[in-house]
Structure formats: C-alpha cells, structure tokens
Amino acid sequence: MIQFTVEDRDGTRQTLEIPEGINLSLMEVLKASEYNILATCGGLALCATCHVQVLAGLDALAPAQDAELDMLDTLPDADSDSRLACQLRVDERLEGGLFRIRGAEQ
Ligand code: FES
C-alpha cells in the first residue's frame, strides 16, 4: 500500500492508503475519495483546478513537465511547492507525502 496524507481546504487531514499499481493520477484518486476537485480539463494540465501544494515529499516526486509548469505559471496563488494533481501518478514516490488541496471549488 502507498500511504500519503491529504489536507482539505478547511485544514482537515486524512491519510489515504492506495494499493500499489493502480495506475491512476492523484487527481483521480482525490475525486474517487470524495474530495471536491473540479478537474474541468479531465487531467490535461489545462485547467489547474487540481492544484495542490506539496507540504511534504516534494523532492521525491517526478519533476513537472513543461505543460504543468506553464499552467502553474498562470496561477496567482502558485508556490514553489505547487503541483497539478492530475500530473502526479500514484506510486511509491507519493509515499509519506502531504498534499494540501488548493484548486478552485465547485
Ligand atoms: S485536471 Fe485540469 S489541470 Fe489537472
């Protein structure tokens, strides 16, 4: 199992346990876990509504590609620890991470 923690907009934290090898993005797992994530673009790095701040475990993640970096650049509230959840695969690199949901609400 892969374990990581999610902090919702109200500060509530919950640890998720996800089976290895499920081949989903963090955005898809968050939506499946009933988090309020719009994901308007369906995971194409075009809407930024899946914006998360990585409070722990940032260095372990795969580096952001150009499309993600370009989209993060357009966000006024993005920080150096910001990522798009749709561009992160849920695998062992997320183990022990802490992700704060930042994207726009529905
Ligand atoms: S779902 Fe649109 S940028 Fe991630």
pLDDT in tens, 84-101: 999 999 999 999 999 999
Residue 104: its pLDDT value, please? Answer: 82
Domain annotation covers residue 106: no
From the CA of 48, how far away is ligand 1's center (Å)? Answer: 5
Domain annotation covers residue 15: yes
Domain annotation covers residue 91: yes
**Local confidence band at 105 (pLDDT 50, 70, 90 cut-offs):** confident
- More confident: 106 or 28: 28
**Local confidence band at 54 (pLDDT 50, 70, 90 cut-offs):** very high
Domains held by the chain: number = 1
Domain annotation covers residue 13: yes
% the chain with pLDDT above 90: 96
Long-range contacts of 55-58 (CB under 8 A, 24+ apart): 55/7, 55/81, 55/98, 55/99, 55/100, 56/5, 56/96, 56/97, 56/98, 57/4, 57/93, 57/94, 57/95, 57/96, 57/97, 57/98, 58/83, 58/97
Which residues surround ligand 1 with Cβ inside 6 Å? 27, 39-41, 43, 45-50, 84, 86
Domain annotation covers residue 41: yes
Residue ranges making up the domain that contains 18: 2-101
| pLDDT over threshold 80, residue 106 | no
Residue 50: its pLDDT value, please? Answer: 97
CATH number at residue 69: 3.10.20.30
Looking from the CA of residue 42, the nearest atom of ligand 1 is 1
